[in-house]
A = this chain, B = another copy of it.
Amino acid sequence: MEQKKQIIDRFKNARSDAVQELNRLKKEGAKIAGYYCTYTPTEIILAAGAVPLRLCNSSEQYVQEGEVHLPRNLCAIVKSSFGEAVSGKSPYFEAADLVVGETTCDGKKKMYEYLRELKPTHIMQLPQKNTGHEESLLWINEMRRLKSSLEQEFEVDITVAKLKDAIKQKNSQRLAVKEFYENWRAHPGVLMSSEAYSILGNFDYRLDREKALEDLYAMIRHIKSGPPDADVKEYDNSPRILLTGCLLGEKMAGIINIIEKAGGNIVCVETCDWLKGSDGLVNEDMEPFSAIAEKYLQIPCPVMSPNHNRMELAARLIDDYQVDGVIDFVLRACLTYSVETVPLRRLVKDKKHTGYMSLETNLAHSESGQLNTRVSAFIEMLSI
């Protein structure tokens, strides 16, 4: 097998490599549909023969650009995503031929109103509850509205056959991701959590998905048979940590390093770019739009009210991964995640008798010292 480090590096470099790849694709006439949220049904974009490209940004530089145009009291992801768009300097945003957004949280839905001024933008109306007949019908209709928009914008026909192919393709990716983390969990001595995160947190940015899947399967083979890694071994008796909360983008890598250095053994990451997005498949035997709508509506995000799904998922993960402590990340001004610290704390502490810490972050570089101190104290408390 190829060196583990080389494969991991290809994932680590995915975001910068995507810039070249986008140039190549654009030259070949490919259409790019930018999106921000895990609720975007990328199957429909794939069925349009277009490339789905995740646009949400988390860099401090673009937060400042965003604050020139938007109020400061929005979460860093919203501000930096808008800052990136409005700057005219982002190869990702500039590459997008169409932007797809959803009325998820208050900050995002209002920010999307200004994206319209920069790019052709299609907004999907997300229901605020994931049960109910009318909510389902509304969301299925949104699938059809997105189809029409893509067909019109990209001058293509989205057939049932293309949709079914795209569903199979995405499901096989979800299964590969699942197989990866099931194996990683079963062989904890081979891959550090920061390495596992480098792979999964960047998966969406490897636009050549076939090559990315090849690398993912190579890593699965390595995990199954590879020798224990000296660096990983030392975490064997460390507190087992579940990360949950807001999508933090590239900043997550730094936070995972802080936790690992403090002696925490991250056994599961329940965020949009890992488990929240890939848990569950689209039913391949149903009418495609209904099947896609059904899967996406069940994403356990706090924008749903009530959001029993996240509490049930957290309870299951705490048991499955034998978690000692939960670290819950909340982006400052992310009201839905912020309020859900209350029931999550109750679940984790009172029902599961597991450690819980909520960390508010604005993704600024300057706060890393404070995060370090709080995380170290939490891990130390769990180790006693």
Report A's interface with B, CB cutoff 8 A: 69-71, 73-74, 103, 105-107, 109-114, 123, 125-129, 132, 134-135, 137-138, 141, 302-303, 305-306, 330, 332-333, 335-336, 338-343, 360
Contact = CB atoms under 8 A, between A and B. Distances in A.
A113 B306 CA distance: 6
Contact of A335 (B106, B114, B135, B343): B106
Contacts of A113: 305-306, 339, 343
Given A128-B125, A135-B125, A74 B339 contact: yes
A105 B335 CA distance: 9
A129 B134 contact: no
Number of chain copies forming the complex: 2
Contacts of A134: 125, 137-138, 141
A106 B337 CA distance: 10
A127 B114 CA distance: 20
A341 to B, nearest CB: 6
Given A125-B128, A128-B103, A129-B103, A338 B71 contact: yes
Contacts of A137: 134, 137-138
Contacts of A103: 128-129, 305
A99 to B, nearest CB: 15
A106 B336 CA distance: 6
A127 B125 contact: yes
Nearest to A116: B306
A129 B127 CA distance: 10
Contacts of A340: 110
Contacts of A109: 128, 305
A126 B125 contact: no
Contact of A73 (B111, B305, B333): B333
Nearest to A335: B106
Contact of A333 (B69, B335, B360): B335
16 contacts: A70-B342, A71-B330, A73-B332, A73-B333, A74-B338, A103-B129, A106-B335, A107-B335, A107-B339, A110-B302, A110-B336, A134-B137, A137-B138, A138-B138, A333-B333, A335-B335
